[in-house]
Chains A and B, each alone.
Chain A
Amino acid sequence: DSGVTQTPKHLITATGQRVTLRCSPRSGDLSVYWYQQSLDQGLQFLIQYYNGEERAKGNILERFSAQQFPDLHSELNLSSLELGDSALYFCASSVAGQNTGELFFGEGSRLTVL
């Protein structure tokens, strides 16, 4: 158990809909990262937050947004969903904001868009 909690574990929805994925980092970790894993794109970095502020942005679509709240949990919002958004979405956390150490991953949220 990594200590990172993601909900929901599975989600099935229709095209055009909006979903919210939630992540609770390990106790004490200030950084939260979101990754998307699909068969054709592999693991893609989406966005990082550190202590409530956006720290780095990767291949995140404009239809997607995220935030980190004062209690350090984070939410990833996916809107106007398309079939191609079907993927595993992972949250990871780390203590620091710099690239000095390992990331702790949650078990992921599997999104299926029909």
Chain B
Amino acid sequence: QQPVQSPQAVILREGEDAVINCSSSKALYSVHWYRQKHGEAPVFLMILLKGGEQKGHDKISASFNEKKQQSSLYLTASQLSYSGTYFCGTENTGNQFYFGTGTSLTVIP
């Protein structure tokens, strides 16, 4: 039931792009994305409610493929402040919410 994220970890140089994927074995109602800095609480980034929906702000965006039960988070022109662990969270049609396995993102100068 827990969504699986890939990759588990990624290291980028400032300015590079990254894609983080989130896959579920169950039909999804919504997908959330969170970023967690070390020692801090997860911070909500965005939610996607409909299959095919794409959202974004600044240089971080996400898409939701309902048929494939997948979501992807896109980080473009990465900045040092993007470093952290990214979690997807999926809600299935039974109103059950599960966080993904997490992806550690490190941006280096």
Asked if A pairs with B, the answer is: no
A interface list, Cβ under 8 A from B: none
B interface list, Cβ under 8 A from A: none
